[in-house]
């Protein structure tokens, strides 16, 4: 897997290459680009880039002095776009909503469109189910002890946590995927250090709402995709985001929870294709290697 060295540390990424429109697909906490593997066969014709951000599922630790707060990770994302010299990017967020903080940081020149797919917004950083980890991040030994519970399937699949983030229980690899996402923080002290820094790095509620107001200055197209069975993101945030941004529209996806790329990959890919191309262009399936990533 290629990697780019930023000031904050290394960022691994996957890149299909090609001359098509650029999609940068982001993931949640503590996930990686495998979140999107079911959608990849439907995104042919695009140049699809999937970076692994330092949200706890990364495999190469960041530099000890890296800013891994919410705004810090947003700036790492901005540095990543700069390092790859990407332009007219369609930035797609799912679960983690911190990419919106690039607007507050004045770093949207490379972004042509923004797709907000069942992600954090307004004062929902982190979502309610993740707030205990944010509290425990203030006492690292307790955070570490809590992580150990994720070694057990019944905790990984708890309805109030990761078990509720996907409704597609026929997707038999889902638990293996979740287990793999937590493995780096469970086995590597430096990754766990990064995870702890990020988990405790959200601004307070008043600051979050102030930042949200500042995000209204983003006037480029925004697609809001909200899931009808989401357990993490408030149902009212979808319509509220569609009204919040000057040029936005809302799509409600049925039979899906937070992880829409897992629950409704073909439908989501179609929405992204229509958003970027206006429905134009063939579905040119990617190769088998990309399908399996």
Convert the pLDDT of each residue in 74-85 to its tens digit: 999 999 999 999
Convert the pLDDT of each residue in 159-168 to its tens digit: 788 889 999 8
Query: Residue 151: what pLDDT?
Result: 84
Cα dihedral: 158, 119, 26, 5 (round 10) = -100
Convert the pLDDT of each residue in 233-260 to its tens digit: 999 999 999 999 999 999 999 999 999 9
**CA angle in degrees (0–180, nearest 5) for 178-84-22:** 70
Query: Residue 288: what pLDDT?
Result: 37
Query: Residue 279: what pLDDT?
Result: 55
**24 three-class SS:** strand
Query: Residue 169: what pLDDT?
Result: 67
Query: Residue 281: what pLDDT?
Result: 46
Place of tokens 């990407």: 86
Closest CA to 185 of 64, 13, 57: 57
Maximal C-alpha separation, the chain: 53
């Amino acid at each position: 897997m290629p990697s780019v060295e930023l000031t904050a540390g290394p960022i691994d990424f996957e890149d299909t290459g090609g001359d098509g429109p650029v999609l940068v697909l982001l993931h949640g906490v503590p996930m990686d680009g495998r979140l999107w593997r079911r959608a990849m066969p439907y995104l042919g014709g695009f140049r699809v880039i999937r970076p692994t951000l330092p949200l706890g599922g990364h495999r190469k630790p960041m530099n000890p002095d890296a800013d891994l707060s919410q705004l810090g990770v947003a700036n790492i994302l901005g540095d990543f776009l700069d390092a790859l010299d990407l332009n007219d990017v369609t930035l797609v967020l799912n679960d983690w909503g911190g990419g919106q903080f690039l607007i507050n940081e004045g770093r949207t020149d490379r972004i042509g469109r923004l797709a907000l797919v069942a992600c954090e917004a307004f004062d929902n950083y982190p979502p309610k189910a993740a707030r205990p980890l944010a509290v425990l991040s203030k006492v690292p030994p307790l955070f570490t002890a809590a992580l150990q519970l994720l070694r057990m399937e019944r905790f990984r699949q708890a309805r109030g946590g990761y078990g509720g983030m996907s409704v597609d229980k026929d997707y038999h690899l889902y638990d293996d995927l979740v287990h793999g996402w937590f493995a780096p923080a469970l086995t590597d002290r430096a990754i766990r250090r990064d995870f702890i820094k990020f988990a405790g790095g959200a601004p307070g509620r008043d600051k979050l709402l102030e930042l949200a107001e500042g995000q209204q200055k983003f006037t480029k197209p925004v697609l809001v995709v909200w899931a009808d069975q989401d357990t993490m993101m408030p149902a009212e945030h979808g319509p509220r985001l569609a009204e919040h941004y000057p040029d936005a529209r809302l799509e409600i996806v049925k039979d899906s929870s937070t992880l829409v790329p897992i629950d409704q990959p073909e439908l989501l890919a179609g929405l992204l294709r229509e958003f970027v191309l206006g429905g134009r262009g063939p579905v040119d399936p990617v190769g088998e290697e990309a399908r399996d990533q």
